[in-house]
């Protein structure tokens, strides 16, 4: 089989898919995606905004589409399941990649709580005063009851 064209490889970085015996996709192999948040010397508030947008996209996936539900709560909402600094990569261009997406464990308190905890821990690494202000604003919104999409809209209006 001929090698894919460079244009195809650039637009489709998936190198291989991992499937189980029932031909369900269980994972994929991609080239190096960037540096994890826990290894960055500083963080910008935009990184957390991008994560939030990614979570909204993940949460919009129908729960039965994955076929990997492990606990009852997974039937109601697809979540990333392990939001933490090591599972967020930032590439050289600043693009954010969420990795290690899957069904949450029984003790996982949800993507929203995990995002709040991660942001609270990393806000000390804010690059600028404006980043710190926006991170704190975003934390306050996340700790409330506003829907994630409404938080995105609110933050877009304020910036």
Instruction: Evaluate whether 77 touches 108 at the Cβ level (below 8 Å).
Output: no
Residues 114 and 105 sit within 8 Å (Cβ to Cβ)? no
Residue 26 confidence (pLDDT) above 80: no
Convert the pLDDT of each residue in 75-85 to its tens digit: 556 777 888 99
Question: Residue 128 carries which DSSP code?
Answer: S
Interval 33-84: pLDDT, tens: 788 999 999 999 999 999 999 999 888 877 666 555 445 554 556 777 888 9
Query: With 50 as the cut, is the pLDDT of residue 8 above it?
Result: no
CA 9/CA 6 separation, integer angstroms = 5
Nearest-angstrom CA–CA distance, 26 and 96: 22
Question: So what's the pLDDT on residue 58?
Answer: 82
Instruction: Single out the residue of 57, 54, 53, 109 nearest to residue 81, CA to CA.
Output: 109
What structural domains does the chain harbor? 33-158 (1.10.510.10)
Q: Which residue has the tokens 């369900």?
A: 24
C-alpha distances in Å from residue 78, one per residue of 56, 57, 130: 10, 10, 32
């Amino acid at each position: 089989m001929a090698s894919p064209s460079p244009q195809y490889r650039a637009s489709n970085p998936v190198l291989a898919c991992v499937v189980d015996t029932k031909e369900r996709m269980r994972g994929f192999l991609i080239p190096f995606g960037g540096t994890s948040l826990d290894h960055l010397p500083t963080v910008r508030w935009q990184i957390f905004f991008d994560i939030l947008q990614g979570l909204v996209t993940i949460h919009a996936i129908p729960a039965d589409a994955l076929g990997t539900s492990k606990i009852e709560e997974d039937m109601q909402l697809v979540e990333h399941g392990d939001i933490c600094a090591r599972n967020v990569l930032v590439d050289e261009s600043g693009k954010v990649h969420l990795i290690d997406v899957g069904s949450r464990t029984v003790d996982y308190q949800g993507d929203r709580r995990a995002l709040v905890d991660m942001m609270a821990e990393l806000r000390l690494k804010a690059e600028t005063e404006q980043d710190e202000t926006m991170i704190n604003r975003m934390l306050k919104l996340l700790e409330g009851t506003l829907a994630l999409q409404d938080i995105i809209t609110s933050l877009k209006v304020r910036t």
